[in-house]
Amino acid sequence: MIALIDYGAGNIRSVQNALKRLGVESILTNRPDELRSAEKVILPGVGEASFAMNQLRENELDQLIPSLTQPVLGICLGMQLLCTSSEEGDTQALGIFDTVVREFEPVLNVPHTGWNSCSIKSSPLFDGISSYDDFYFVHSYYAELCSNTIATCDYIQPFSAALQKDNFFGVQFHPEKSAEIGAKLIQNFLAL
C-alpha cells in the first residue's frame, strides 16, 4: 500500500492521479498506524510552510514522519518540510535533511515556474533519467545545497532540486506534472 500523508496541503489529488495512471492504488491518510504499515509514504504538498507544519504537529505527524523506516518521498513543499527550517513563516521543519529553505531574491521571474533540467548525482531515484531531462517546477523558496543534495537546478542561483538521506527522498519539482520523465521518477521511487 502507498500512503499519501493528508495534512491539508494542496496538490495531493494530482499525486494520487499520477499513481493511478501508473496502475498503483494509494490511500490518503493522517493515521499513524496506516502510515507505519504502508510500503511507501509520500508527503506531497503545495502551500505555506508554517501552516503545513502546524497541521503536521496537530496530528503528531511531526514526531511520526522522522521515525518512518520505509521509503518516504517529499514533493515540493513536502521536500521543504523534511529540511531543518524554512524562511517561509520562520518555520522549524522536520530536520531530516541538513539544509535550510530560503526565499528566492525578489526578481521579475519569481516564482520559478516551468520546465528546467537538473544536474543529477547517482541515485536510484534517477535511474534511467539524465541531466538533459526536464522537470516541472513551481516554487518561490528553495533548499540550499548540502551533503544530502542528489540533484541541483540553477535558477537565480544553484539549489537542491532533490535530496536523499537514508530512506528519505525529496524533490522540489513536481514529478506528477512532469510528463513521462516524472512518471519514470515515481516508478523508480515505487521500486525502492
Q: Which residues participate in catalysis according to the annotation?
A: 76, 174, 176
Is the Cβ–Cβ distance between 37 and 1 less than 8 Å?
yes
- DSSP category for residue 4: E
DSSP 8-class letter at 123: -
The 3-state DSSP class for residue 19 equals helix
Neighbours of 164 (CB within 10 A): 20
Pairwise CA distance, residues 39 & 47, whole Å: 26
Please compute, for residue 162, the number of CA atoms within 13 A of its CA located in the half-sphere on the CB side: 25
Give the rounded distance of the alpha carbon of 99 from its chain centre.
14
DSSP class of 100: E
* Region of residue 179 (phi > 0: left; psi between -120 and 50: alpha; otherwise: beta): left
Write down the H helix ranges in 42-177.
Answer: 49-58, 61-64, 77-81
